[in-house]
Structure 1
Amino acid sequence: MPAYRLTPSLHTTPWGGDRLRTYGKDPAVPTLGESWELSFVPGAESRLDDGRKISDAFGKEAYGTRAADMPFFPVLTKFIDAARDLSVQVHPSDAYALAHEGQYGKCEMWYILDAAKDAGIYLGLSEKTDAETLRHAALDGTAQHLLRFFPVKAGESYLIPPGTIHAIGAGVVLFEIQENSTLTYRLYDYGRPGTDGKPRELHLEKALAVATLDRYTKAENSSSDPTLIGLTPYFETHVYKLNFTKRELFVDKTSFLSLTVTEGEGRIDGQISKKGDTFFLPANSGRVTAEGKMTLVAVSLPEREKTEAPS
């Protein structure tokens, strides 16, 4: 079974820029903030080369046996270009989201692709605080001042468990792997207008209900596998760096495999692949070969009994 090249769903945002054109995305889209690479989200699905929506082309058997108890495709991947600071926001856990929103929450991770000088991300609180202090900071525009700031550089990865207040800073381009959910609770957004010209909606009460108020400590990768950069109950992420070399991967019945080229070029399953391309391999595709000089981000479903749900 072949690897299927995907056409992404492109999204204009108030904070987007023009750097995703270097990843092959449409330069005609203004303030392009997000390119949804592997997406089963209704209305924003990835498409195959023949124009079919990915959700029309593949049934649940393509997800893999590890997704047998999941009601929909479990993962969403994106390129993100933050030309300006993103909103200060937080995502709920599955438990809260199912109880209050009728959908799943969001665990996510970021793989940094590029960063301007002194650019970085905001992750979690710099000190333990209380809900009222956080509420006042959100209302008076100082919410960022309560967060930990991490200068970033290409090749770093960060896990953002549900409940972690966060924001991508201006000047950062990254690849995001997340639970397939569109739930975001904004605490602060600089008064920026939405498409209707009015300030975008905030979700202060919900954000305060789900936010982790303890001091944030960055999770360190303790894996003995140097290619493994992220392991959660929802996704497993590897980075493979090929230097005019070949790597063989095997896609068995337990999970699909998504391969995104974040640097360089080569061939995947014999097909020309270049920076910005994403390929989908349904579960049970068998052996696939990647070769060339390129960096690949590989996403699949984990053995869930070997993972621990982020708190």
Structure 2
Amino acid sequence: MSTLYPLKFKTIYKDKIWGGQKIKTYLHKDFGDLPNCGETWEISGVKSDVSVVENGALQGQSLAALLEEHKDALVGKSVYERFGNEFPLLVKFIDANEDLSIQVHPDDELARKRHNSFGKTEMWYVIEADPGSSLIAGFSEEVDEKTYVEKLNSGNLTDILNREDVKAGDVFFLPAGRVHTIGKGLLIAEIQQTSDITYRIYDFDRVDDKGNKRELHTEEALAAIDYKKYPNYRTDYTPVKNEDVHLVSCPYFTTNVMDYTENVSKDYSAFDSFVIHVCLEGSYELQYNGESYAVKMGECLLLPNTVDKVELKTSQGFKILESYIA
């Protein structure tokens, strides 16, 4: 069995009707001949798009094959017991040049019943925002299914949805069932459950290059939606330099933001989980077991459960999202 080490994966680029150019111009990732890149999948165990190792002795191996071979050495004992040979998280960058569709994702129970899949709880970290950018998360008033359907059918759905003005650094946690959309002008890092199930509710009557509207999932969405109104949809936190700042905890992932201008040592030996780094700004070198791994903005690193103590060295500073399963 090969020894595990910090893993980089080849980026999977996704052309989207609403995508733009920021993956290239801001994150400096080359998506080649795609007209517009709406998403990159950085670490994925989704069966249709499984990530492939880009660095070191395991180069060319798929994440699925690694998990099958290394099991809890890769993901942690409790994680493997819970998820088996299915990698539990999907990491993306999303560039919304136009508003995404208004949508909702099913929870585990509904997704298992309908699709034999996990549900989809996710979080967003806003990397960059054009002036005046906004997004939708949840309802702005208490509604029931009947009111929701009336508003949808009359073309007034947005009247009851909660729209938030956003800026770089804003964080939103979106449990399964929360109606949402990413607004025009936003570049976002997304951490989510491994699932590609989306119920599209409204797509602004857009058509593709052949004049076809995208499929809607009006009926499927009804049982998936959480119709409650919540007091706050934004994740409040205070940014602090050179400290780990907690953002989100849920059964599917825990995420912190690390905004450092100096070197830092990390000891993950008490974790029973893999750890994912998503580099949002700057660059650093992660040193482990006598080897050095360079990471820059727009790149991700998967630290297997066997990777315990690491050093993060930087000359220009870095900001990363650190995610794991607690």
Same fold, judged at TM 0.5 (above)? yes
Residues 196, 41 of structure 1: alpha-carbon distance in 2 compared, 3 angstrom cutoff: farther
Residues 141, 247 of structure 1: alpha-carbon distance in 2 compared, 3 angstrom cutoff: farther
Counterpart pick for 1:23 among 16, 24, 27: 27
Secondary structure, in 3 states, of the residue corresponding to 2:151? helix
CA displacement 1:44-84 (0-9 Å, x = unmatched) = 12221223222223333211112112141111111011110
Question: Which residue in 1 is equivalent to 2:307?
Answer: 285
Alignment of 1:84-233 (within 5 A): 84-194=98-208, 197-218=211-232, 220=235, 227-233=245-251
Contact conserved, 1:4 with 1:48, CA < 8 A, in 2? yes
How far off is 1:145 after superposition?
2.5
Partner Cα distance (2:301, 2:269) in 1: 13
In the TM superposition, structure 1's runs of 4+ consecutive aligned residues that sit over 6 Å from their partners are: none
Bigger Cα displacement from structure 2, 112-121 vs 20-29: 20-29
Aligned AA (2:197): L
Partner Cα distance (1:228, 1:300) in 2: 12
Question: Which residue in 2 is equivalent to 1:42?
Answer: 47
Aligned residues, how many?
302
CA displacement 1:80-131 (0-9 Å, x = unmatched) = 1111001111111111111222211111111111111111110111111222
Counterpart pick for 1:58 among 54, 67, 76: 67
- Give the share of equivalent positions with the same residue, in percent: 30
Q: Does 1:32 align with 2:56?
A: no
Residues 203, 267 of structure 1: alpha-carbon distance in 2 compared, 3 angstrom cutoff: same
Contact conserved, 1:259 with 1:297, CA < 8 A, in 2? yes
Residues 172, 138 of structure 1: alpha-carbon distance in 2 compared, 3 angstrom cutoff: same
Contact conserved, 1:238 with 1:297, CA < 8 A, in 2? yes
Q: Bigger relative contact order, structure 1 or 2, given CA contacts below 8 A and separation 6+?
A: 1
Question: Which residue in 1 is equivalent to 2:16?
Answer: 13
Aligned AA (2:66): A
Partner Cα distance (1:194, 1:208) in 2: 26
Residues 273, 113 of structure 1: alpha-carbon distance in 2 compared, 3 angstrom cutoff: same
Secondary structure, in 3 states, of the residue corresponding to 1:268? strand
Partner Cα distance (2:105, 2:230) in 1: 15
- In structure 1, list runs of 5 or more residues that go unmatched: 303-311
- In structure 2, list runs of 5 or more residues that go unmatched: none
How far off is 1:170 after superposition?
0.4
How far off is 1:137 after superposition?
2.9
Contact conserved, 1:105 with 1:162, CA < 8 A, in 2? yes
* Greater fraction of residues in strand: 1
What TM-score do the two structures reach when normalised by structure 2? 0.86
Aligned AA (1:298): E
Contact conserved, 2:254 with 2:324, CA < 8 A, in 1? yes
CA displacement 1:237-264 (0-9 Å, x = unmatched) = 1111110322324255610111111100
Secondary structure, in 3 states, of the residue corresponding to 1:48? coil
C-alpha RMSD of matched pairs (Å)? 2.1
Partner Cα distance (1:195, 1:285) in 2: 47
How far off is 1:221 after superposition?
5.2
Partner Cα distance (1:279, 1:114) in 2: 21
Aligned AA (1:64): G
Aligned AA (1:69): R
Secondary structure, in 3 states, of the residue corresponding to 2:263? strand
